[in-house]
Amino acid sequence: MRCPFCGNIDTQVKDSRPAEDHVAIRRRRFCPACGGRFTTYERVQLRDLVVIKANGRREDFDRDKLERSIRISMQKRPVEPERIDQMISGIVRRLESMGETDIPSKTIGEIVMESLARIDTVAYVRFASVYKNFQAADDFEDFVSELRPHVPAEE
């Protein structure tokens, strides 16, 4: 890391510790050339992920957008908010660990559906119905009837 005071690139890390409730690492750095001290933060950079949409357009991955669509699917469902948070973090971790920066929106949709299906079938159907953009009511009926055995009795 280049020294911001003198431009020397050979600076030393004196101390590293977790910060911001473990989402960042704070490093105290020292420049032996000029004696300057400075601090850097290391955190996961989600903007490195690019979503390739069905029409071929590219878009920066936006965790908030993902979260919004999941929360809409989860509206009024008996699932604790912490579980939803955990699920979203899990999805993001999976995307980050795929080893690719370009991720088709289809892949993201499938991972979301898989995760929702494990937590709440109703939320899954809601999300899937929007995601898959069912044009014909018949398609949607087929889809729901496939799921029906797993749908809770109150439905």
Q: List residues near Zn ion by CB under 5 A.
A: 3, 5-6, 8, 31, 33-34, 36
In the complex, what is the shortest distance from the CB of residue 16 to Zn ion, in angstroms, rounded to a whole number? 19
Q: How far is the CB of 8 from Zn ion (least distance, A)?
A: 5
State the DSSP code for 101.
Answer: S
Whole-number Å distance between alpha carbons of 128 and 151: 14
For Zn ion, the closer CB: 36 or 109: 36
User: Side by side, which strands form the sheet with 50-52?
Assistant: 58-60, 50-52, 102-104
Instruction: State the Cα–Cα distance between residues 53 and 139, nearest whole angstrom.
Output: 23
32 vs 104, beta carbon nearer Zn ion = 32
Separation between Cα atoms, residue 104 and residue 93, nearest integer Å: 16
Return the number of the residue (6 or 23) whose C-beta is nearest Zn ion: 6
Cβ atoms of 80 and 60 within 8 Å: the answer is no
Quote the least distance from Cβ 29 to Zn ion, whole Å. 10
Please say which residue, 35 or 90, places its beta carbon nearer to Zn ion: 35
For residue 125, the minimal CB distance to Zn ion (Å) is 59
Burial of 122 (0-12, 13-18, 19+ CB in 10 A): buried
